């Protein structure tokens, strides 16, 4: 069964460093997302991406964050200068975006990357 994959599973970085989190969405999906979950809190939306541009972003997704689809398979989240509060699980998700089939077109999540900022 196709699945969303994410690398690395765990990333440790020093405050102020840049990190790139990588995701490979399901191959025929067209819509891509990043969410994060700070320990003990709920899963929060960061950004959605379609047709090589951001569709929507949350207040969390400030100028330190960027997303890119550098090729036909990868979808990346870059944090330019990490802060302690960026420590969280980051989940990538994707969905197909079928016309007229919204009710069955749910988002599928990857296993997550645990980012630890020291």
Partner 1 sequence: DQQVKQNSPSLSVQEGRISILNCDYTNSMFDYFLWYKKYPAEGPTFLISISSIKDKNEDGRFTVFLNKSAKHLSLHIVPSQPGDSAVYFCAASGMNRDDKIIFGKGTRLHILP
| Binding residues for partner 1 (CB under 8 A) | 4, 6, 31, 33, 35, 41-45, 48, 50, 55-56, 58, 91, 93, 95, 97-98, 102-112
> In the complex with partner 1, which residue's Cβ is closer, 7 or 81?
7
The answer to whether 26 touches 2, Cβ cutoff 8 Å, is yes
Q: How far is the CB of 31 from partner 1 (least distance, A)?
A: 5
Cis peptide, bond prior to residue 8, ω within 30 of zero: yes
Q: How far is the CB of 16 from partner 1 (least distance, A)?
A: 28
Closest CA to 115 of 43, 44, 49, 39: 39
> In the complex with partner 1, which residue's Cβ is closer, 31 or 65?
31
> In the complex with partner 1, which residue's Cβ is closer, 44 or 64?
44
Residue 5 structure tokens: 């994959």
Residues 6+ apart with CB under 8 A from 17: 81, 82
Q: How far is the CB of 115 from partner 1 (least distance, A)?
A: 14
* DSSP code at position 16: T
């Amino acid at each position: 069964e196709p699945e969303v994959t994410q690398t690395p599973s765990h990333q440790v970085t020093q405050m102020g460093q840049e990190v790139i989190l990588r995701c490979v969405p399901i191959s025929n999906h067209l819509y891509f997302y990043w969410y994060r979950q700070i320990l003990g809190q709920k899963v929060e939306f960061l950004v959605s991406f379609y047709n090589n541009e951001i569709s929507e972003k949350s207040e969390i997704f400030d100028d330190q964050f960027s997303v890119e689809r550098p090729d036909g398979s990868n979808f990346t989240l870059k944090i330019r200068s990490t802060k302690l509060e960026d420590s969280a699980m980051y989940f990538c998700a994707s969905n197909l975006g079928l016309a007229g089939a919204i009710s069955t077109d749910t988002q599928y999540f990857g296993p997550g990357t645990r980012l630890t900022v020291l």
